Amino acid sequence: MRRLHLVSVFAFAVLAACGGGGSSPKSAATEDGLKTAVAKFGDAILRGKTNDAYAFFTKECRDTVPKSDFAVLTMMGLAFLEGFSDTKLSDLRTGNVEVRNFSPSRAEARAEVRDKNGDLFSEADSEDFSEWIYEDGGWHSSDCADYDSSGFDFSDDGNFEFSMGPPCSDLVDGEPVPPEFVSETSGEIDLSCEEGDTYEFAMRWECFSSEREYSYNDLGFAFLDEGIFRTGDVRGCSPPCSDLIDGQPVPVSFDNESEFGFSLSCEDSDGDEQWSYDWDCYSSDRRYIRNDDGYAFIDERVYRLGSPDNC
């Protein structure tokens, strides 16, 4: 029996769009660079940002993994995971990343998954290591062998038949979500739609920092409490990065209900969200939270630019 899963690093399945996706993500050819790439990859999956996740595949994988089949498989896998685990995917995040057999050009990595309170949701085991290759200025996963969909028939007369409802063209940037995208029973927004032969699956997520809920597909998003469709990646979930000042306490606007009490996830001047992750110091096990620009020790809560040098 063929199994549905997210990326093997997380014992989940991942996929995204072929012929699309974001620009190739850049990272340093170091263990820390790899850990950051794996964490961003995993969080992109868990946030439903399939284009961002797809950019972390090697060129060979992107050349062999088709969009249409795997978009269906991925969203089915996400839906089954959320349903069977009775856990909101928006509550999950990438935990500690472990690396083995490291070299600047190739390594293996695996990661655990934790909920928003920091509790372990899925612990990686020995079979969860996957290969990562350094190419095009960044770390990319070459683990796509399990994504062969030749055993499935997605044709009109095959086993899988989906009707995703309204056409995607009905969603207009800056305009209210049309009534056909709103459930008559629950009143909740579902942005799933059809665009030609392409299915744009939508998932419901929750902002880490504000816990604000939204529906999201590859075209755009809409906050449930607002009902306005906006194209592109989700904006407005986190406080602006400009609120984080070197040497100053982390503002209360970054508070959340995690075990740490705050995050450093923030929105930059381009409207893109920087995710933050918790890390342990190798020597002292002192914990800190970091984003792309800086960090704050959990026991100190003072934001500093760069990387910690006093672990």
Q: Are residues 91 and 185 in the same domain?
A: no
For the residues 98-122, what does the mean pLDDT come to? 87
Structural domain including 15 reads 8-147
Q: Under 8 Å CB-to-CB from 155, ≥6 apart: which residues?
A: none
The larger pLDDT score, comparing residue 89 to residue 202, is at: 202
Tell me the mean pLDDT in the region 112-122: 78
Q: Are residues 37 and 140 in the same domain?
A: yes
Answer with the one of 201, 231, 261 that is the final residue of a domain.
Answer: 231
Quote the pLDDT of residue 45: 75
Residue 311 lies in a domain: no
Task: Give the torsion through C-alpha atoms of 99, 140, 68, 183, to 10 deg.
Answer: 60
Q: What's the CATH number where 17 sits?
A: 3.10.450
**Is 27 a residue whose pLDDT tops 70?**
yes
Res 127: pLDDT: 61
The answer on 93 and 40 residing in a single domain is yes
pLDDT higher than 70, residue 229:
yes
Does residue 156 belong to any structural domain of this protein?
no
Type of residue numbered 149: S
How does strand 294-297 pair with strand 287-290? antiparallel
Q: Are residues 202 and 261 in the same domain?
A: no
Say if residue 27 is in the same domain as residue 131.
Answer: yes
Query: What gap in Å lies between CA 148 and CA 216, rounded to an integer?
Result: 26
Q: For residue 124, what pLDDT is reported? A: 52
Q: Which of 147, 179, 199 is the last residue of a domain?
A: 147
pLDDT at 52: 77
Under the banding of pLDDT at 50, 70 and 90, the label for residue 205 is confident
pLDDT of residue 93: 82
Work out the pLDDT band at 13, boundaries 50, 70, 90.
Answer: very low
18 and 104, same structural domain? yes
Is the same domain home to 34 and 98? yes
Q: What percent of the chain has pLDDT over 70?
A: 73
- In the predicted model, is pLDDT for residue 253 greater than 70? yes
Q: Could you tell me if residue 3 is inside a domain?
A: no
The continuous run of DSSP H or E covering 99 comes out as: strand 92-100
**Whether pLDDT at 212 is above 90:** no
Does one domain contain both 213 and 256?
Answer: no
More confident residue, 283 or 245: 245
pLDDT band for position 68 (50/70/90)? low
The structure's pTM equals 0.52
Asked if residue 152 is part of any domain, the answer here is no
Count CA within 13 A, CB hemisphere, residue 295.
19
Residue type, 101: N
Any domain includes 159: no
Look at residue 54 and tell me if it is in a domain. Answer: yes
How many beta carbons lie within 10 A of that of residue 254, not counting itself?
23
Domain co-membership, 72 together with 194: no
> Position 150: which residue type?
S
Same domain, 56 and 99: yes
248 and 129 assigned to the same domain? no
Average pLDDT of 223-234?
Answer: 91
Average confidence score pLDDT of the chain: 78
159 band by pLDDT with thresholds 50, 70 and 90: very low
- pLDDT tens readout for residues 258-278: 788 898 988 888 777 788 888
Q: Which CB contacts under 8 angstroms, 24+ apart, belong to 176-183?
A: 176/227, 176/228, 176/229, 177/222, 177/227, 177/228, 177/229
Find where tokens 């996830």 sit: 265
Per-residue pLDDT for 171 more than 90?
yes
pLDDT for res 42:
84
Residue at a domain's end among 81, 114, 147: 147
Q: Are 165 and 192 in contact (CB under 8 A)?
A: yes
Is the residue at 50 inside a domain? Answer: yes
> Does residue 173 belong to any structural domain of this protein?
yes
The total domain count for the chain is 3
Q: Give the model's confidence band at 284: pLDDT under 50 very low, under 70 low, under 90 confident, else very high.
A: confident
> Model confidence at 148, in pLDDT bands (50, 70, 90)?
low
16 with 61, same domain: the answer is: yes
pLDDT at 252: 93
